[in-house]
Each structure stands twice: as C-alpha cells, then as structure tokens.
C-alpha cells in the first residue's frame, strides 16, 4: 500500500489561503440571518458559531504572524494535528455564545469575518516571503509555510462543514482541498493506504469523520479503518 501522489505543498501558500478564505466569504455573504442557525457537519455548531470559530482562527493567525520565534520548529503541517485527534473539536459553547451577540450576523458577523480574514491573508503574504520565518502558536513553533498550510486545512474542512444545509454555495478551493488531502495522507501514513476510489472531497469528509465508512470502505481498509477519523 502507498499513499496517493498528491505532491508537495504549493509554493504560493498565501495565495491558496486567500482563495480558501475568499470561498468561505462567498459562502456566507449572501445568507439571511436565519441561515446562520442552520446545522453544519461540525457537531454542536450551527453556521453562525462555526463562522465565529473560523473568525477566531484567522485572528489567531494574525497574532502568530506578528509573533516570530527564534526556537527550533517542533511541528510541521502534519504533526501539528497530532494534538487534535478525534473527539477534541472546537469549543462549541464559546462559539455559540459569541455568535449570539451578533444581532445581525448576515451583516455584522460576515463583515467582521471579512475584515479579519483578509488581514490574515495580507499578513501571510508578508510572512511567507521570508522562508526562514518561524511562528509560535498553540504552544508550538512552525515554519511559516507549515503554519499557513494548517490554516488552509482548518478552513477547508469547515467549509465542507458549512455546506451541509446551504444549497448552491461555492465548493472549497481546489488547491486548498489538495493541501488538506496531503495533510491527511501524512497523518494516515503510506502503510495504511490502498486504492479505495474516493475522490478528494469524499476522502476529506470520511477521513475527518464527517461521513461514515460504508461496508465497502471497511472491507477495503481492513484494520486501518479503526484509525479513522484522523482528527476531530
């Protein structure tokens, strides 16, 4: 068994993040206030709270880009997720509380998300220009490219979460999906892989527990099926 060939991380990761965040903005900017109460694939999170979670992730990115480190990296874009196994998802109660404070989420929350996410993309573009730039976040040090890849993965997975009850919304950025799949390949490991016929989106959904494994999946994966989902 060997992992699918998904290639190295793209060189223009800041641009990938920009498109990834931009697709999220396209997804939420035309919603009604009522739509922010719709369910998502993220357990315990409606659309509004999940957008709050993404907003705080973009804010965390801004802080990280402005907090360079001189320590040696102790995580890369794959091993970073070892601290977030299945069952350790976002704090839904906090996100729900914050989301409820936006009386007009279609205007105020979306506007706040747009401002912070676009600022994070601009900061990412500056940071990745220095290939030796190191950032500190969540108690770990990463090279800036690896850090941006984690932001792309987080946003891509949650974009798929948002689409559960939102018809006719944009698909995630294709390169963002590839970065996410490449990350999951690293977590799953080449010894666990076989040709099971999943397209990239299905792979992301099943490897993160958003879709259940069917009998065919269980048969093809064998003992490796017990390792899924890879993250929460």
The tens digit of pLDDT for each residue in 88-117 reads: 566 788 999 999 999 999 999 999 999 999
Residue 19 lies in a domain: yes
Residue 160 lies in a domain: yes
Average model confidence (pLDDT) for the chain?
91
Please answer whether residues 81 and 230 qualify as being in contact, where contact means their C-beta atoms are separated by less than 8 angstroms.
yes
pLDDT tens-digit map of 197-213: 788 899 999 999 999 99
User: Is the confidence at residue 2, as pLDDT, over 50?
Assistant: no
Sign of CA dihedral 112, 162, 100, 57: negative
Number of domain units in the chain: 1
Range of the domain at 66: 13-227
Residue 4 lies in a domain: no
pLDDT tens-digit map of 121-151: 999 999 999 989 999 999 999 999 999 999 9
User: Is the confidence at residue 6, as pLDDT, over 80?
Assistant: no
Residue 3 lies in a domain: no
Please compute the mean of the pLDDT values over residues 37-49 and round it to a whole number.
96
Residue 212 lies in a domain: yes
- Nearest alpha carbon to residue 43 among 229, 175, 170, 168: 229
User: Is the confidence at residue 66, as pLDDT, over 50?
Assistant: yes
Residue 6 lies in a domain: no
Residue 232 lies in a domain: no
User: Is the confidence at residue 4, as pLDDT, over 80?
Assistant: no
Residue 218 lies in a domain: yes
- Residues 197 and 200: their CA atoms lie apart, in Å, by 10
């Amino acid at each position: 068994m060997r992992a699918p060939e998904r290639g190295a991380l793209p060189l223009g990761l800041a641009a990938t993040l920009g498109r990834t965040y931009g697709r999220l903005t396209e997804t939420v900017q035309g919603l009604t206030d009522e739509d922010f109460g719709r369910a998502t694939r993220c357990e315990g999170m409606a659309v509004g709270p999940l957008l709050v979670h993404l907003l705080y992730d973009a804010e965390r990115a801004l802080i990280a880009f402005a907090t360079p480190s001189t320590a040696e990296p102790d995580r890369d874009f794959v091993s970073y997720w070892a601290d977030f196994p299945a069952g350790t998802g976002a704090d839904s109660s906090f996100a729900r509380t914050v989301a409820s404070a936006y009386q007009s989420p279609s205007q105020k929350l979306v506007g706040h998300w747009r401002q912070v996410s676009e600022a994070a993309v601009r900061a990412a573009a500056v940071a990745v220009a220095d290939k030796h730039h190191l950032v500190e976040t969540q108690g770990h040090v990463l090279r800036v490219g690896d850090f941006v890849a984690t932001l792309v993965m987080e946003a891509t997975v949650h974009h798929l979460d948002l689409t559960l009850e939102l018809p006719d919304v944009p698909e995630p950025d294709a390169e963002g999906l590839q970065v996410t799949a490449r990350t999951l390949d690293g977590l799953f490991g080449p010894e666990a892989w076989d040709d099971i016929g999943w397209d990239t989106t299905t792979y992301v959904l099943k490897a993160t527990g958003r879709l259940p494994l069917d009998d065919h999946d269980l048969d093809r994966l064998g003992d490796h099926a017990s390792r899924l989902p890879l993250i929460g």
